[in-house]
Amino acid sequence: MEKLLNLGRWLFPLSFLMYVGLHFGQPEIGASFVPTWLPGPLFWNYFCGVCILAFIVSALLRKYDKLSTLLMTLYVFLMILLVHIPRAVESENDMLNIFRNIMVIGALLVYAKYVTKDHRIVG
């Protein structure tokens, strides 16, 4: 049972690879989520893709993993505030993205608390 539970340490960060693939494989879709008041939507799309990839690598290598997990939490929270709430005002379909991202934030915080090994950030 313990081996099965330990798979979560690998599966959770690797599940974010889908977002990396979307950011780099279909950049126009990711850029369409960038708020119109921010210049350079393609830059922000690629920048976010690199940040997500940095979280994955950090979590798998267990180097600065707590910091990267908390920064990933901040990224998802900012996505809720800057992208999904404004879009939900126009279309209730984005409410699902808000709820999904709240669940992801919860999972990231649990991961940061119980899985990460970087003890430079006390918490």
Res 48 pLDDT > 90: yes
Q: Tell me if 47 sits within 8 A of 89, measured CB to CB.
A: no
Q: Tell me if 44 sits within 8 A of 87, measured CB to CB.
A: no
- Between residues 91 and 123, which one has the greater pLDDT? 91
| pTM score | 0.91
Residue with tokens 């800057």: 82
Confidence of residue 119 (pLDDT cuts 50, 70, 90): confident
The full set of domain ranges for the chain reads 2-114
Sign for the pseudo-dihedral over CA of 90, 91, 92, 94: negative
3-state secondary structure of 118: coil
Res 51 pLDDT > 60: yes
Render pLDDT for 68-100 as a digit per residue (tens, 0 to 9).
999 999 999 999 999 999 999 987 778 999 999
What pLDDT sits at residue 64? 95
User: Which DSSP string corresponds to 11-40?
Assistant: HHHHTTHHHHHHHHHSHHHHHHTS-TTSS-
Confidence of residue 39 (pLDDT cuts 50, 70, 90): very high
What pLDDT sits at residue 122? 64
Render pLDDT for 8-20 as a digit per residue (tens, 0 to 9).
999 999 999 999 9
Report the distance separating Cα 51 and Cα 115, nearest Å: 20
Burial class (CB in 10 A: 0-12, 13-18, 19+), 13: buried
